[in-house]
Amino acid sequence: MLKLLLKLKDGFISILPIYLIIIILNFTPYIDLSNYEILVLSFATILATLGLALFNMGSDLAMTPMGKLSGSYLTKQGKMWILVFFAFALGFFITLAEPNLAILGSQIKALLSPLLITISVAFGVGLAFVLLVVRAIHKVNLAQIFLFLYGLAFALVTLVIYTGSSDFLGFIYDSGGVTTGPVTVPFMMAVCIGISSVLAKKSDKDMSFGLIGIVCIMSIIVMLFLGIFIEYNGDFTLDKSLYEIGTNFGLAIINNLWSSIKSVFLSLVLIVAFFLIINFIFIKLPKKKLETLGIGVIYSFFGLSFFLTAVNLAYMPVAYKLGGQLANHQSLLYIISFIIGAVSVFAEPAVHVLVKQVNDITNGIIKKTTMLIGLIIGVGFSIVLAVLRIVYGFEIMFILVPALVLALVMSFFIPKIYVAIAFDSGGVAAGALTSGFVLPFAIGICMGMGYLDSETLRLGFGVVSLVSITPVIVIELIGLFALIKDKIKMKRQVEKMIQASDEIIIKF
């Protein structure tokens, strides 16, 4: 009970800032929310707080242990084909019902089937899991993997532009960011830790991270292949009903809760079923341990259902309205955009899982506060970049290409652990609240500025991908500063030793 109360407190601290910002803005002449919208938002905030607390409990009790056990026991079998087969199947099936993909797909269903998007991304995630196994066995440098994969992605981008589907690039890169959502991240990271615990040395802490980053870019590559064959004639209609709060409060809650329950249930059923198969064949846990895992799964189920209900019920419509009303106040818009980006990090369920695991794996060397500050700055800055792009109408690749080149270049000069954590941070930062609050906020800005739906497709989408890349650069810069600091410290130690030796010689 005490642990749940602590989780509730953490959830309250995470959700409260973004709620307060909305309420404070409502007292200014720039934002006008009705009393009914405030009521629904307040209820959604309580629901999101409870959901975040229950989800974090479930992650500790079930999702993380199941992932670690799956990764370590599959690796211990010693047979490459078993590991590769189960790795691909694991990545594919746990992605099929990722709620983040459903949220993103629903906003573009007029052009592309959400099912096709999900299957394509799931295939990419399966390949990413296989690549993780290859990396762990052959100790491949992660920086080299990212250099190759992003090089391939840039080549495919040129083909997408050549075929006339460049308006989809923002959405395609967004699909990579939302793949790593609240359901999959705890399990993915735990699988990575489980595999590395068997195949890597204890000193190779970077082998415990990097999967999230690989998953993001593999998803983008698969979607780019899909983008080459999309026939787009410039006709796109945005479904604006997604951004409306239902007039019947009770009915709106029931509809959103039922939709979230179905989505989360399918996600967890696939993960649990896959784990039970692995447990039956390889692990063979005692009944009592399985019961504990079952309780954790129930916590995760209700927690994530409540959280996603809150996002869909109120935060998505309110974000859309905020963007629309702030669109004509550009000086304020940039400030609010940074603040929204910064506080949204606290409310992402998967961020707390990443920060905790980084702190645990590195034995506190990379502290929670350092990670959170890096993510806050990175995500806040990314939302400002997204707004600048909307206002001035330039292509997303003008930001992504130099940003990714900088990230890739730095990855060859900083400690490996920072490279792995940096690319994982980018994927984790773009979670449920990014696709359910930040993206509607950007789309609302487009609508407020009078853009057509087709222009919104080009300029509004892409914000998730920006959220995915800026934390990478910030965390890598932290790694670079840590490296410089260590070198300065070592240089001073050498100078002291030389000075001490000189004093001994003089005395002699």
30 assigned to some structural domain: no
- Which of 73-82, 148-157, 323-332, 371-380 is the least confident region? 73-82
490 assigned to some structural domain: yes
183 vs 272: CA distance, rounded Å: 12
Which of the two residues, 175 and 21, has the higher pLDDT score? Answer: 21
Residue range 120-131: mean pLDDT, rounded: 89
Mean of the per-residue pLDDT values of the chain: 84
Residue 237 has pLDDT above 80, yes or no: no
**So what's the pLDDT on residue 175?**
79
The candidate with the shortest Cα–Cα distance to 257, out of 318, 301, 297, is 301
Residue range 232-241: mean pLDDT, rounded: 74
99 assigned to some structural domain: yes
**So what's the pLDDT on residue 183?**
67
Residue 351 has pLDDT above 80, yes or no: no
459 assigned to some structural domain: yes
46 vs 112: CA distance, rounded Å: 34
The tokens for 324 are: 């629309």
Residue 384 has pLDDT above 80, yes or no: yes
**So what's the pLDDT on residue 203?**
54
Residue 380 has pLDDT above 60, yes or no: yes
The answer to whether residues 382 and 345 touch, using CB atoms and an 8 Å cutoff, is no
Give the torsion through C-alpha atoms of 216, 217, 219, 223, to 10 deg.
Answer: 140
Residue range 63-77: mean pLDDT, rounded: 83
**So what's the pLDDT on residue 97?**
62
Percent of the chain whose predicted confidence (pLDDT) is above 90: 23
158 vs 442: CA distance, rounded Å: 26
**So what's the pLDDT on residue 289?**
92
Q: How many CB atoms lie within 10 A of CB 9?
A: 12
What three-state secondary structure class fits 461?
coil
193 assigned to some structural domain: yes
- Number of structural domains, the chain? 1
398 assigned to some structural domain: yes
Percent of the chain whose predicted confidence (pLDDT) is above 70: 92
**Class of residue 498 by CB neighbours under 10 A (exposed 0-12, middle 13-18, buried 19+):** exposed
Q: How confident is the model at residue 498 (pLDDT cuts 50, 70, 90)?
A: confident
202 assigned to some structural domain: yes
443 assigned to some structural domain: yes
Residues of the domain holding 392: 2-17+42-507
